[in-house]
Structure 1
Amino acid sequence: MAIFFDTYNSEIINSSIVFGVFFILQLIARLIVRTIGKSKKILTSRARLVGRYFTISFLFITLLIIGFIFGVNIDDLVVVFSSVFAILGITLFANWSILSNVTSGIIMFFSFPYKIGDKIKIHDKDHEIEALIEDIRSFQIHLRQDNGDLITYPNNLLLQKAVTLIEKDAFDK
């Protein structure tokens, strides 16, 4: 064991520094997301979810940097990443709507002007939906119509349609 630490002493120190920077960056990112969530009065569960997305992204970058620190050959990484991205590409092409809904959910976290409790009208060419926003999730938004019907509307479609605010925070009545 002592031989391992003697051989890879500088790599272990550099990896510790990278993990320390990763830890600090993910804490800062989560704090920023939580602050934005509080300022926009967004549920803490949504803020935690977006924070997890940032943590996973930072973790992949950290593992890539640690691979370089330990001397992983760039050609080997290219083979691994091209294989992984080819599989992901095929998978996501088959399920492109899942990826677009998650991306739309993140966009809605930062810039969606409507909140849970607002009554909105979605202007679709086939029909219009007038409902109360019950929940905003990663893949879809839950809308409750006046007759009690629950509609789950995909996030990506909501960002593509015109939406009108009917009543602000109808839950406070």
Structure 2
Amino acid sequence: MLKVLLLSGCIVVFLLLARLVDRVVRDLAIKRSVSLYRVEYINKVTHFALLFCAIVVICLVLGLGYGDVTLFLSSIFAVVGIALFAQWSILSNITASVIIFFGFPYRVGDRIQVLDPDFKMTGVISEITMFHVIIRLDDGNTVTYPNSVMLQRAVLKVDSATPLPPPEEG
């Protein structure tokens, strides 16, 4: 009977946490003017993480030993890690997308300049997706910039009335 109550409590806590996370993400998205597509994506990622934690707690409540649960999880992580190693850029872009959602200081519609050593570009952010940031350049062309690279580069928010600094020579 105690296990049934504990399992029920785990499920209720999972559902309440999922609703709380949904509300926090939605409020943050409204505050930052984020697209509905990105809100749904972030909710899926957070629900998956919460579900993973809930399954671990439920396994422990059901009497599986800590060692058994950690052995099972480490086996899963090893298989998933090997499978994703070849696709490291995909995994890093998905992670960067979550970081950009919560911490990126620029939004869709902002005019930015990406200070890439090879190619300095100036344009307006037209969309931020799961894998890349889409920038409409001043000449009308569109550039898709990977999220993981966007976090590694210096980005200036450019006021349209302020002239841009001249590009560096050499």
Name the TM tier (shorter chain): 0.7 to 0.9
Q: How far apart are residue 73 of structure 1 and its match? A: 2.7
Partner Cα distance (1:106, 1:78) in 2:
26
Matched, 1:34 2:23: no
Partner Cα distance (1:114, 1:73) in 2:
46
TM-score (norm: length of structure 1): 0.85
Partner Cα distance (1:91, 1:18) in 2:
31
Partner Cα distance (1:115, 1:59) in 2:
30
Instruction: Name the residue aligned to 1:103.
Output: 95
Partner Cα distance (1:62, 1:138) in 2:
25
Q: Which of 62, 68, 87 is equivalent to 1:70?
A: 62
Q: Percent identity?
A: 33
Would you tell me which structure has more helix in proportion to its own residues? 1
Q: Which of 43, 48, 60 is equivalent to 1:56?
A: 48
What's the RMSD between the two structures over aligned residues? Answer: 1.6
For this pair of structures, how many residues does the alignment match? 160
Please tell me whether the aligned partners of residues 116 and 153 of structure 2 are also in contact (alpha carbons under 8 angstroms).
Answer: yes
Question: SS state of the match for residue 131, structure 1?
Answer: strand
Matches for 1:77-156 after TM superposition, within 5 Å: 77-156=69-148
Please tell me whether the aligned partners of residues 120 and 166 of structure 1 are also in contact (alpha carbons under 8 angstroms).
Answer: yes
Please tell me whether the aligned partners of residues 60 and 69 of structure 2 are also in contact (alpha carbons under 8 angstroms).
Answer: no
> C-alpha offsets along residues 46-69 of structure 1, whole Å, 9 cap, x if unaligned?
222212211111111111111111
TM-score (norm: length of structure 2): 0.86
Partner Cα distance (1:31, 1:78) in 2:
31
Partner Cα distance (1:17, 1:51) in 2:
22
> C-alpha offsets along residues 133-169 of structure 1, whole Å, 9 cap, x if unaligned?
111011111112233322110011111111112247x
Range with greater deviation from structure 2 (23-32 or 73-82): 73-82
**Structure 2 alignment gaps of length 5 or more:** 161-170
